[in-house]
Chains A and B, each alone.
Chain A
């Protein structure tokens, strides 16, 4: 089976989608001739032409609005927002238009768009190249929100997103583009070639949205996480020897409550970990859900690990990042709790 990093996996998903459906087009800043600042659309314009891989002006609101109009006219656009931090000029078009179109027109109109959004920190990007704003989109009724943590899921989920008839905000943890990351910035980078999830079928397949994945089965505690932290959590669990069950949420909307609840009801302990800021973060929804579903099975208060509630500070990236120490501390706390 071919080995791919996340960039190649995403590129492959778009390539196949464009081959299979003439209506699939790509638009965004620098996505065409140049192939994207992260190279995710590399070679696609050459293969499919300027009218299907379209370089756009620097206007995120315009990109999403144009994509909406295109989708109403029968196309299936994949829009790239260069960094999650730049998505806010498009927020009105996403919240008030993209997410509402099907509802407000009672199903007569819809906008099957995928919005690809490189997100997350760990790349020395400071406050304008590091954000994880998934909660801002999870709170909007009418868009699906996903975040893969590896090349296999990235390709399968992106294919599912493009083929889905609802709009999808597709977050790509950019620290994972070239390899899994265990939050130790001093260690040499690890490539996806050595990782089982770097094995990616060359052809078409989907990973369904709405399904979480148990990445490590265990019985002592459930750690619910997604994105970059999946790998950080795995590293912590391996180093402590605690028999933790690790769940990669993958799909934020719709949320796979059943997998989360079954696990926590079994283990009786739970940690929720994400890179985004804590206050009113998506972790709050996860905690509330677990509490509702598993209250009588809980042996200890649920712990949360998240980014501090500050903007992402450039020079203090590793003090800010919810890394291994903080996850280990939470693990100790939740295991001690009775």
Chain B
């Protein structure tokens, strides 16, 4: 009997019925983090992997060296993109309850992660999203109807009915296809970036994954290859505290930050307030400048909170306190930006309310139009197309099965 030994199994600080407790989250005041040049050595960035880069404080002020000093029009855009994302999420989520779509994953509480990053990058940069990055499409000015139609598996579905809802792609907009298998897109983004370097092109790649998926081998492959070849890539870990019911401590976040994985591979790690549009924009801009200048990859940990269930198939009240989001110390990204705009005199509660209403109406109208192209239970898609795109051209055995299917269909 060894009294010193007992298996350590990380536990979240609070379960249902207990008061929310975020004392484990290491925070830092807005404006406190220094901003080294994007050409900085790893050594100069090392503290940023364990501190927290924040710009907007609790009163809405923008502080410190990381303030990207965005024009008001940019801030208004960011607010609109986040509100559109949230409104669309809400609309499709409700449609799942009504049976028009099979499944949905909202990004509520994490909108800044996608929106601010997309705005800080260039249109030619290739994005490799995970399934909670719909804000990337919105912030690249994609019409939400395209996303809705994918979820509905209707005649306008970009995936031709082959993918579960939210597994979007957008070749023209340089947004990669979502797999559903976790973290696989990270080393792919690195490969994309390596090709960019081989071809000496100005474009960089940017990928996202959740903190839970950093445990996958693909995450380590991505960091190794990115570091070895100094690939022009930004790797984002969206630490929203929960991987379905699994607390971030079980993914390895208990003893060290996720951003700190970077320096071990020779990659700068930046830990950032993921609900702070300005901070997310600023770190993405820093990493993009570093990558474009030949300085290689950056690992960014975005500290945020998954405000909704993992998906429409999930019930978080079974594993975490109901009011946890309300207690999350970094708040709601939309409210944070709204407060900042009001503080700077470029916004008001009335204008905000009017904008929310306008977007809700727009989304409702867009949804009506999307539904007019069909819904999953009444999909107008031709099932014969299921035999297409397995290969560029149908192989003889696919032809045979297709004919078999046609005969059965009559």
Q: Which residues of A contact B (CB under 8 A)?
A: 25, 51-52, 54, 56-57, 59, 61-62, 65-70, 72-75, 89, 92-93, 96-97, 100-110, 141-142, 144, 165-166, 210, 253-255, 257-258
Contact = CB atoms under 8 A, between A and B. Distances in A.
Contacts of B392: 102, 110, 165-166
Q: Sort A-B residue pairs by CB-CB distance and give the 5 closest, nearest first.
A: A69-B191, A62-B221, A66-B191, A65-B187, A69-B192
Given A66-B187, A254-B396, A104 B218 contact: no
Nearest to A107: B389
Given A66-B188, A74-B195, A108 B181 contact: no
B247 interface: no
Contacts of A67: 191
A209 B91 CA distance: 48
Most chain A CB inside 10 Å of its own CB: which residue of B159, B176, B194: B194
A92 B183 CA distance: 11
B1 interface: no
Contact of B188 (A59, A97, A107, A110): A97
A77 to B, nearest CB: 8
B395 A69 contact: no
Interface string B186-218: 111111111110110000010000000000011
28 contacts: A56-B225, A59-B217, A59-B221, A61-B221, A62-B222, A62-B224, A62-B225, A65-B184, A65-B187, A67-B191, A69-B190, A69-B205, A73-B196, A92-B218, A93-B184, A96-B181, A96-B184, A97-B179, A103-B389, A104-B169, A105-B158, A105-B159, A105-B171, A108-B171, A108-B177, A109-B171, A165-B392, A255-B396
Contact of B162 (A51, A61, A104, A165): A104
Nearest to B150: A106
B390 A73 contact: no
Contacts of B189: 69
B126 A73 contact: yes
Contacts of B169: 104-105, 108-109
A301 B81 CA distance: 67
Interface in B25-48: none
B162 A253 contact: no
A257 B400 CA distance: 11
B160 interface: yes
B245 interface: no
B163 interface: yes
Given A106-B162, A254-B395, A70 B221 contact: no
B194 A66 contact: yes
B159 A104 contact: yes
B407 interface: no
Contacts of A62: 187, 218, 221-222, 224-225
B181 A92 contact: yes
Given A65-B187, A257-B396, A103 B225 contact: no
Given A65-B187, A65-B225, A75-B198, 12 more contacts: A61-B217, A65-B184, A69-B195, A70-B192, A72-B192, A93-B187, A106-B159, A144-B391, A165-B392, A166-B392, A210-B395, A254-B396
B409 interface: no
Contacts of B229: 54
Interface in B220-253: 220-222, 224-225, 228-229
A65 B191 contact: yes
Contacts of B184: 65, 92-93, 96-97
B67 to A, nearest CB: 33
B126 A61 contact: no
Contacts of B282: none
Contacts of A56: 225
B397 interface: yes
Contacts of B187: 61-62, 65-66, 69, 93
B82 interface: no
B217 A89 contact: yes
A104 B397 CA distance: 20
A128 B67 CA distance: 55
B390 A103 contact: yes
Contacts of B222: 62, 65
Contact of A68 (B158, B191, B220, B228): B191
Q: Is the interface on chain B under 10, 10 to 19, 20 to 34, or 35 or more residues?
A: 35 or more
Contacts of B228: 57
Interface string B377-398: 0000000000011111001110
A59 B181 contact: no
A36 B87 CA distance: 55
Nearest to B200: A51
Contacts of A51: 198
B210 to A, nearest CB: 17
A57 B392 CA distance: 31
A189 B389 CA distance: 45
B369 to A, nearest CB: 21
B188 to A, nearest CB: 4
B126 to A, nearest CB: 7
B88 to A, nearest CB: 21
Tell which of B181, B198, B228, B391 has the most Cβ of chain A within 10 Å.
Answer: B391
A141 B398 CA distance: 10
Contacts of A142: 390-391
Contacts of A69: 128, 187-195, 205
B194 A101 contact: no
**Interface-centre pick from B187, B188, B220, B222 (highest chain A CB count, 10 A):** B188
B101 interface: no
B197 to A, nearest CB: 8
Interface string B137-173: 0000000000000000000001110110001010100
Nearest to A49: B198
A210 B391 CA distance: 13
A14 B221 CA distance: 26
B190 A66 contact: yes
Interface in B287-342: none
Contact of A57 (B163, B224, B396): B224
A166 B193 contact: no
Contacts of B188: 65-66, 68-69, 72, 97
Given A92-B181, A106-B162, A73 B217 contact: no
Given A66-B188, A104-B159, A59 B224 contact: yes
A100 B390 CA distance: 7
Nearest to A52: B198
Contacts of B391: 102, 142, 144, 166, 254
A124 B128 CA distance: 43
Given A52-B198, A69-B194, A97-B181, A106 B221 contact: no
